[in-house]
Homo-oligomer: A and B are copies of this chain.
Amino acid sequence: MVTREQASLIVHGQDRIGIVAAVGSVLAAHGANIVSLDQYSDNPHGGAFFQRTVFSLDNLKAVLPEIRDDLGARLSEGFALDFTLRDMSVRKRVAIFASKSHHCLLDLLWRHRGGELPISVSMVVSNHADLAEEVRGFGIPFFHVPSAGPDKSAAEAEHLRLLQGNVDFVVLARYMQILSGDFIARLGVPIINIHHSFLPAFIGAAPYAKAKERGVKLIGATAHYVTEDLDQGPIIEQDVVRATHADTAADLQRRGADVERLVLSRAVQWHSEDRVIRDGNHTIVFT
């Protein structure tokens, strides 16, 4: 079987009659076959409109610029819409930031090696040198950028040198360091963080200790986009696991680690496949 190439098209803007027809017509005119289409409007009477379309087409790379031009022309006729068109055979490039805790990092590298994640891991960056050998064993560059002390400016400058132009998004795999608003703005690509609690419960440091203190009966993990406000960015995915009175904070941490890995890997996969659309502090996730 000849596998045809696939592209993703995200359309986002003000809902209006005829969007689906307009997009469908442009794609059909180029002989593109729609493989998957998800659509969401937060209010059918003039709300915000979101559509993810995946289509397949022979000779995709050659035709994509024409489709982009035609969509641009067609969607400027009376619509207030933005769109993003992407060749899905080109993997998104990612840098993974980690600290000493390595379960999320290794889980991603492992899934990547097993072909689960359509990403290209450009580098791993850590404020500790411990994981260098393990990471390089996967054939992936490892950079140690120390980040001790309150002044992170030198570390962030080094991060920007490494990242700029080289990555399409960044994953904080239990990086445990706060990024400055200036850094986030200058980096200019999405950053996904895994927080080890069911947000908005237990914002900030030591959530498992807080969960033990509060006596919750479930513990969770949350993958979200990073914004300047700590642990407040748009949530991509969450999950939980059961806990009991007999679990120590260390037990919660151990069980929670399994949830963190699953939640982060789903968020990375969905982001890589253009399934997540940011809408203010919310996400639309077409799974």
Chain A positions within 8 Å of B, measured between CB atoms, are 1, 4, 15-25, 27-28, 31-41, 44-45, 51, 56, 103, 106, 110, 114, 116, 137, 198-202, 214-218, 220, 234-240, 244-246, 254, 258, 262, 279, 281-285
Contacts and interface: CB of A to CB of B under 8 A. Distances in A.
A38 B18 CA distance: 16
Contacts of A24: 18, 20-25
B215 A282 contact: yes
A103 B281 CA distance: 32
Given A24-B21, A37-B39, A214-B200, A245 B110 contact: no
B17 A37 contact: no
Given A4-B45, A40-B246, A45-B4, A215 B198 contact: no
A102 to B, nearest CB: 8
Determine how many copies of this chain the complex contains. 4
A233 to B, nearest CB: 10
Contacts of A41: 34-36
A70 to B, nearest CB: 13
The 7 closest A-B pairs by CB, nearest first: A21-B24, A18-B28, A20-B24, A215-B282, A201-B201, A37-B39, A21-B28
19 contacts: A15-B33, A17-B31, A20-B34, A21-B21, A22-B28, A24-B25, A35-B41, A36-B40, A37-B37, A37-B38, A44-B56, A103-B114, A201-B201, A214-B235, A215-B281, A218-B238, A244-B285, A245-B283, A258-B262
Contact of A234 (B23, B38, B215): B215
Given A28-B21, A201-B200, A245-B285, A240 B240 contact: yes
A235 B216 contact: yes
Contact of A218 (B15, B236, B239): B239
Nearest to A46: B33
Contacts of A39: 34, 36-38
Contacts of A20: 20, 23-24, 27-28, 34, 37
Contact of A198 (B22, B36, B201, B262): B201
A270 to B, nearest CB: 11
Contact of A38 (B38, B200, B202, B279): B38
B27 A21 contact: yes
B245 A218 contact: no
Given A1-B45, A4-B44, A217-B237, A284 B245 contact: yes
A177 B57 CA distance: 42
